[in-house]
C-alpha cells in the first residue's frame, strides 16, 4: 500500500514576513533582520511543526525602499542557514544562489560545506537572476536569456561534478595505516564549458545525503528545461489550482523529456497564510499587510521577471512598446 504524504516547505524572508509592512505588526521583533536567535526560533518551530524544509529566496541587490520597508531577503542566505543548521536536527535547508553571478567552484564549496555542517540537509535553489540592478552589483548587465541559461547548465553540471568528486568511501581515516583519505577515490575531472570551467576535486567529503539537492524557481521554457534536467524540487507561485496543475504538468513533461522519472521532481506551490486567533483577527491582519504593499516595487519586479523596463507611471498607460528580438533557435546543452 502506498501512502501519499504532503511535503511542506516554509519560505523565510528577512525575518519579519513577506509583506513590506510586516515589520510594523504588533509583537514583531524589530531586529529580526540581523537576529540569528530569532531565525533559529522560527526554524525550530517549523521543525516541531513537521515542515520538511526551509527555503530562502534571494536576489543580490537592495530592491526595496528602506525608508518604510524591511528588506525581503536575509542578510546572506547561506550564512543564515549555517546558523540554523547548528540549532536544528532534521529540517531541510534550501538557499538560493545565482548561476549568472557566481563561479561554480565557490557555489560547490559553500553548499557542500553547509551540507556537511548540517549532516546532509542542504539544498541549492539555482536561479539565473533577472534584475538588472543585481547585475550592476557585479559590474555586468543581464545577459540574453539563451546565454544566461547556457551558463546555468554549465554551472549546475560543474557544481554537481565537484560535489561528486569524492567517492563514498574515500575518507578512510585509518590511523594504523597512516591514511587520512584514499586519493585514488578523490579525482580531478577537468570540465571546460563555454562560460565556466573547473578542474576539481573539491576538498570536502560527501555528507550523509551524498550531496545537496537542487531546487529551481521560475517558469518559461528555459527554466523548465533546467528544472526538468537537474531539479529535485521546484518552487512555484501559481495563482489558481488550475494554474498549479498546469505548472505541475509542464514540469512533469520537462522531466520526462530529460529522461527522468517525473515523480522525482517535487513542486512546492507557494501561498501566504495569515495566521491569527480568529477569522476576524486574521482578516484585519491581512488587510493591514495588503495595504503595506509597495506597488512601485512590485511593478519594477514584474518588469525584471518579464524582461521589460516597467515603471510605476506606466501603470494606467497603454501596453508598453516591446523591442523586437530575434528568436535564438539554439538551446542550452551539456558542458
Residue nearest to ligand FMN (CB): 218
Q: Which stretch binds ligand FMN (CB under 6 A): 64-72, 195-203, 220-228, 322-330?
A: 220-228
Return the DSSP state at 66: T
Which residue from 13, 14, 59, 99 is in contact with ligand FMN, where contact means CB under 6 A? 59
CB 270 within 8 A of CB 235: yes
Q: How far is the CB of 149 from ligand FMN (least distance, A)?
A: 7
Q: Report, in this order, helix, strand and coil percent for the chain, each rounded to 5.
A: 40, 15, 50
Q: Which is nearer to ligand FMN, 132 or 219 (CB)?
A: 219
Question: Counting contacts by CB under 6 A, is residue 14 touching ligand FMN?
Answer: no
Provide the Cα torsion 155, 160, 164, 165; round to 10°. 0
- The contacts of residue 46 (CB under 8 Å, 6+ apart) are 10, 54, 91
Q: Cα separation of 76 and 144, whole Å?
A: 27
Residues 6+ apart with CB under 8 A from 7: 52, 53, 266, 268
CA dist., res. 117 & res. 115, Å (int): 6
Binding-residue pattern over the window 108 to 147 for ligand FMN, x denoting contact by CB under 6 A: -------------------xxxx--------------x--
Indicate whether 13 belongs to the interface with ligand FMN (CB under 6 A): no
- Least distance (Å) between residue 193 CB and ligand FMN: 19
Minimum distance from CB of 218 to ligand FMN (Å)? Answer: 3
Adjacent-strand bridge partners of 236 = 269
Lay out the site mask for ligand FMN across 150-189 (x = CB under 6 A, - = otherwise).
----------------------------------------
Residue 136 grid cell: 550592476
The site for ligand FMN (CB under 6 A) is made up of 57-59, 96, 98, 127-130, 145, 217-220, 222-223, 235-237, 305, 307
Amino acid at each position: 500500500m502506498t501512502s501519499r504524504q504532503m511535503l511542506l516547505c516554509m519560505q523565510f524572508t528577512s525575518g519579519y514576513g513577506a509583506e513590506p509592512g510586516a515589520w510594523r505588526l504588533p509583537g514583531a521583533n524589530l531586529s529580526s533582520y540581523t537576529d540569528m536567535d530569532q531565525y533559529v526560533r522560527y526554524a525550530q518551530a517549523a521543525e516541531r511543526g513537521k515542515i520538511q524544509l526551509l527555503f530562502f529566496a534571494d536576489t543580490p541587490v537592495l530592491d526595496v525602499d528602506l525608508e518604510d520597508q524591511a528588506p525581503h531577503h536575509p542578510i546572506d542566505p547561506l550564512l543564515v542557514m549555517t546558523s540554523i543548521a547548528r540549532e536544528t536536527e532534521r529540517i531541510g535547508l534550501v538557499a538560493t544562489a545565482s548561476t549568472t553571478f557566481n563561479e561554480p567552484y565557490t557555489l560547490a564549496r559553500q553548499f557542500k560545506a553547509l551540507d556537511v555542517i548540517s549532516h546532509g540537509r542542504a539544498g541549492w535553489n539555482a536561479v539565473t537572476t533577472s534584475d538588472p540592478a543585481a547585475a550592476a552589483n557585479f559590474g555586468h548587465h543581464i545577459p540574453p536569456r539563451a546565454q544566461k541559461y547556457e551558463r546555468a547548465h554549465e554551472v549546475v553540471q560543474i557544481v554537481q561534478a565537484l560535489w561528486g568528486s569524492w567517492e563514498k568511501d574515500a575518507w578512510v581515516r585509518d590511523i594504523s595505516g597512516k591514511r587520512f583519505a584514499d586519493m585514488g577515490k578523490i579525482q580531478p575531472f577537468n570540465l571546460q564549458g563555454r562560460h565556466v570551467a573547473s578542474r576539481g576535486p573539491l576538498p570536502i567529503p560527501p555528507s550523509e545525503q551524498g550531496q545537496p539537492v537542487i531546487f529551481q524557481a521560475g517558469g518559461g521554457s528555459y527554466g523548465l528545461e533546467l528544472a526538468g534536467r537537474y531539479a529535485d524540487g521546484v518552487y512555484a507561485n501559481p495563482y489558481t489550482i488550475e494554474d498549479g496543475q498546469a505548472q505541475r504538468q509542464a514540469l512533469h513533461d520537462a522531466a520526462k523529456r530529460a529522461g527522468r522519472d517525473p515523480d522525482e521532481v517535487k513542486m512546492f506551490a507557494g501561498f501566504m497564510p495569515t495566521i491569527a486567533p480568529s477569522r476576524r483577527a486574521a482578516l484585519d491582519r491581512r488587510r493591514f499587510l495588503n495595504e503595506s504593499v509597495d506597488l512601485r516595487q512590485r511593478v519594477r519586479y514584474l518588469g525584471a521577471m518579464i524582461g521589460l523596463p516597467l515603471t510605476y507611471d506606466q501603470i494606467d498607460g497603454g501596453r508598453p512598446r516591446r523591442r523586437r528580438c530575434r528568436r535564438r533557435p539554439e538551446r542550452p546543452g551539456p558542458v
